Structure 1
Amino acid sequence: MTDSFEKLKNDKELQIMAIEVQAICSEKSFEEILVDLHKTRNAELTINRIFDGNFLEGTRFDTLKKSKFSFPIHLLDEKDDASSCVHQVHVLNQENPNIGDDIANQRCQRKNDNINEEGINRIKEVEKLERKTQKEQQRLERKKQKEEREAEKKRLKQIQEVNKTKYDKFELCRELILDISNNLSEKNLVDYLRDNPKYTLLTINVVQHDFPNIIKWRRKITAEWDDEFCAFMPAPERIQEESFLLIYFEISEFTKFIKDDILSDNINKIQETFSSKRIIILIEGYESYCRRRKTQINRNFTNAVRSGIEHDLEEELLWLQVIAKCLIVHTKNIQDTAEMIGILSADIATIPYKNRNCDLNFWAEGQVRSGTDPSNTWLRMLQEIQFVTEPVARGIINVYPTVRSLYKAYQRCLTREEAENLLTSVETSVEKII
């Protein structure tokens, strides 16, 4: 046995692991730890065996550890008497009759203490995890609330933006898309429109139509009118066709259609195809044609058309306006035609804003809207003015709460330009109506 212990003590690896184990479990002897490490070859496993009560299990000391009695081992010299050794063992057994039970109890106690400590550590880990989870939830909730506040602030800003008073019709042209028939591009009409600085915001497309000489308008919708709030509300951008259609005629072509008696048939066919649109007929050169006819500059042309076409031309124009309900527009030349198309586009661009609380409603019995108090009456008065919607009126009231305050502000203006720009800095108020 001494030799075997010596071999274990000479094993450097076991000695290092034994020192580590004894530093944690100091109640175990160095020799016992070496024996157990010789079995496990692992310091962590030996520590677990100590705490689990399996220390020295499967080693040469296993039977002694499980026995209720402890028999010390003595190496006998030649001089020793065997009977004296037996007597010493008997004395030790009498002094410690329950030594095996005590060892088992100690193991159970250590095992219970270890279980309790593990349970406490597990509870602490759970509580720590719960606190961490709660903090993360609070952080996410704060982040969500911040995003909601920013989204609401952005929404209100968008509402203010779309409800700004829009006076400049050429600025509103950025909302329109002009679809011009490809055969008209040969007349440099598109170039004249694009070169005009007033209509640079117009989006101009050259397209193929089923009918020649056709011009259509489309609008980029970014806001829609809300009757409940009496204000424009932001909406996802979409393209919507306008309810107007322009047909371009040169005077020579127009008179030819009359001479061939096909003008009404062509107009009826177009109206059937575009039943939801209002027709605008642009006749280029009509005034010069009339001057030539009256002054007889070109006698041959006058004699050719005066007899048959003069009366027919007037009748056809009258039919177009009264029966076909077309809007007739006259231009001098291609430059004038391009300018007229630009003017029509600008007027069409303002239509949605003219129709929203911007018409002057003259007094009539039973049509006066009375206010609930002076402030509400002042609000309603402002909404009777052109281009003034309820958000705009509320913005004015925030700065000028009474009629007199606005009147005195205008009196303090030194120039006409200052008076015209008095309300340009007034912010649109939408919070009270949403």
Structure 2
Amino acid sequence: MDKKIDKNLHRLEKKAILEAEKRNKPGECLKYVQAIIDEDLTNEMIGSKILASANIGYKLVNAPIPRTIFWQRSVQQTLKGTNNEMCLDEKYQDEDILLHIMTASELNSYSISHNLVDHIKTIADIYPGKKLSLMIFGLKEYCRNNRANIGRTAFETALTELQLLHNISHRLLDTAEDVAQVFLQFSKSIAEKPYKKEREEKMSGQNFYLANDNKDCVRVKDNIGLTNLWKNHLCKFPTVTLDTAEAIIQKYPTASKLIEAYESNNANGPLLLADIPIRRSAIGPISSSRKIGAELSRKIHSFYTQSIADFVLQ
């Protein structure tokens, strides 16, 4: 019996490790996010469209503020149960994004009574620490049907004030399908947030050049690959082909060697590479008529020796 329990524990632990590795991957991360949706939305066309198009898990709740949606992420799996019956239990934590869908009629009422900011503050008190985004539904149709009472300009002024003074973003949506589309956009963005944050940290500052996640990047490890990196770098110059880069490398196998040559040949620096012959291929004959040339030699020299910050290589 003990061996059976140990085997079950090992299987569950291995499964938890594999699940943890997939949590941040695009295409997989949506499986670990669920939307917490106000159940009153299910009684409206908006809610039915959201639920019909939802490609993530969701839970309906009786929310203190009507038409609100926020998200939770499964952060880890823990073992629970008795020794005879162990299973993995999902643990969820709230994300900091809150979506509030407001009808144009409600917006009009708050604008007339000058209570829009108070309403937003009430939401902030109920959901502390969450970044609120407003979705205004049906504004165009409402203004069309109530031209004598209210103008769209008044609405937009109130919403702009919210954005500038209280950092509350908003979207104007005309149909239930638009609301469902925005819900999907938020869901995907929230699901991929850890992956994008990790990638941003990886690509920040000088790490951008070390990321090695582009097809044009060259992998360098323990000095292996430096020649390919130098060759790749030379090929970035206009008109420099692979044959041309290899010809330069034959003479100057590293960038430091080339820079040293420039420093020791100040007077002849611009034309240092001009007479280097270029082979037709890696094993082809040397062509006396095909050389680096003065123009390209000057460009490469300027790139490595120019000290003017805003110099443009032409």
When normalised by structure 1's length, the TM-score is 0.41
**Distance in 1 between the 2:184 and 2:174 partners?**
15
Structure 2 residue 164 is the aligned partner of structure 1 residue 305 = no
Tell me by how many angstroms 1:177 deviates: 1.9
Q: Which has the higher helix share?
A: 1
Indicate the residue corresponding to 2:92 in structure 1. Answer: 239
* Distance change >3 Å, CA 236–CA 183, structure 1 → 2: closer
One of 195, 208, 211 as aligned partner of 1:381: 211
Indicate the residue corresponding to 2:35 in structure 1. Answer: 178
Q: Please report the RMSD computed on the Cα atoms of aligned residues, expressed in angstroms.
A: 3.9
Indicate the residue corresponding to 1:206 in structure 2. Answer: 60
One of 103, 106, 113 as aligned partner of 1:250: 103
* Distance change >3 Å, CA 328–CA 354, structure 1 → 2: same
**Distance in 2 between the 1:240 and 1:179 partners?**
12
Secondary structure of the equivalent of 1:163?
Answer: helix
Structure 2 residue 20 is the aligned partner of structure 1 residue 162 = yes
Indicate the residue corresponding to 1:94 in structure 2. Answer: none
Indicate the residue corresponding to 1:192 in structure 2. Answer: 49
**Distance in 2 between the 1:314 and 1:369 partners?**
42
**Distance in 2 between the 1:362 and 1:240 partners?**
27
**Distance in 2 between the 1:282 and 1:244 partners?**
13
Contact 1:187 1:334 in 2 (8 A): no
- The amino acid that maps onto 1:238 is K
* Distance change >3 Å, CA 344–CA 261, structure 1 → 2: same
Residues 1-400 of structure 1: pairs in structure 2 closer than 5 A: 151=10, 159=17, 162-164=20-22, 166-168=25-27, 171-196=28-53, 199-200=54-55, 202-222=56-76, 237-288=90-141, 292=144, 301-306=146-151, 310=153, 312-359=154-201, 361=203, 363=205, 368=206, 380-382=210-212, 385=213
**Distance in 2 between the 1:397 and 1:194 partners?**
49
Tell me by how many angstroms 1:264 deviates: 0.9
* Distance change >3 Å, CA 268–CA 303, structure 1 → 2: same
* Distance change >3 Å, CA 191–CA 158, structure 1 → 2: same
Q: Which has the higher strand share?
A: 2
- The amino acid that maps onto 1:263 is L
Structure 2 gaps of 5+ residues are 78-87, 233-314
* Distance change >3 Å, CA 244–CA 209, structure 1 → 2: same
* Distance change >3 Å, CA 397–CA 284, structure 1 → 2: farther
- How many residue pairs were aligned? 211
**Distance in 2 between the 1:286 and 1:330 partners?**
7
Contact 2:33 2:57 in 1 (8 A): yes
Contact 1:179 1:216 in 2 (8 A): yes
- The amino acid that maps onto 2:169 is L
Secondary structure of the equivalent of 1:329?
Answer: strand
**Distance in 1 between the 2:57 and 2:207 partners?**
41
Structure 1 gaps of 5+ residues are 1-139, 224-234, 293-297, 371-376, 387-395, 409-434
* Distance change >3 Å, CA 289–CA 357, structure 1 → 2: same
Over residues 114-133 of structure 1, what are the superposed CA-to-partner deviations in whole Å (9 max), with x where a residue is unaligned? xxxxxxxxxxxxxxxxxxxx
Identity rate, percent: 21
- The amino acid that maps onto 2:171 is V
